[in-house]
């Protein structure tokens, strides 16, 4: 790991994650990796605790999570190509968050609403959403309990 790019300050990590809107989760489909981008919400105490997602009840992603809930995740932002006079002088600025964890489905109605509120707050910056019973029945909500995370930043 490039220690010179590692971000360990909790406030810096919170700021980085607060700006990112898409998280990619990596799943295993037998012996083949499968990556899917998802909008997310998160909770953070003294570290990144949970990532929250929602989707339809059926599909490849849901089937794979049910088979093996152990996943990895990746998110990135602040992409900028830095040019130079020579090809080897080029570099790239970025921030990235990479980690692992376990996904658990949320079945309890009040927990489901809380998770959706967290997700909607992160995506929209707004509070006070309401959800019809029909909408709640049509959505699968799950959280990724983060077990390991590494944050990197490269800026020139």
Handedness of CA 58, 62, 63, 66 (dihedral sign): negative
> 36-62, pLDDT tens digit by residue?
999 999 999 888 999 999 999 999 999
Identify the residue with better confidence: 3 or 111: 111
Would you list the domain boundaries of the chain? 3-154
Residues 6+ apart with CB under 8 A from 57: 138, 139, 140
Determine what percent of the chain is predicted with pLDDT higher than 90: 78
What's the whole-model pTM score?
Answer: 0.91
Fold annotation for 3-154: Pnp Oxidase; Chain A (2.30.110)
> 60-110, pLDDT tens digit by residue?
999 999 999 999 999 999 877 778 888 888 877 889 999 999 999 999 999
């Amino acid at each position: 790991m490039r220690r010179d790019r590692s971000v360990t300050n909790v406030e810096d990590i919170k700021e980085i994650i607060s700006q990112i809107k898409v998280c990619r989760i990596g799943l295993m489909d037998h012996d083949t990796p499968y990556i899917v981008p998802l909008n997310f919400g998160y909770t953070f105490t003294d570290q990144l605790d949970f990532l929250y997602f929602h989707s339809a009840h059926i599909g490849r992603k849901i089937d794979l999570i049910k088979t093996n809930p152990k996943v990895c995740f990746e998110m990135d932002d602040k992409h900028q190509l830095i040019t130079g006079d020579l090809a080897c002088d080029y570099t790239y600025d970025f921030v990235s968050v990479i980690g692992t964890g376990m996904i658990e489905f949320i079945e309890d109605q009040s927990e489901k609403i809380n998770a959706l509120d967290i997700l909607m707050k992160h995506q929209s910056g707004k509070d006070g959403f309401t959800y019809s019973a029909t909408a709640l029945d049509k959505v699968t909500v799950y959280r990724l309990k983060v077990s390991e995370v590494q944050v990197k930043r490269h800026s020139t």
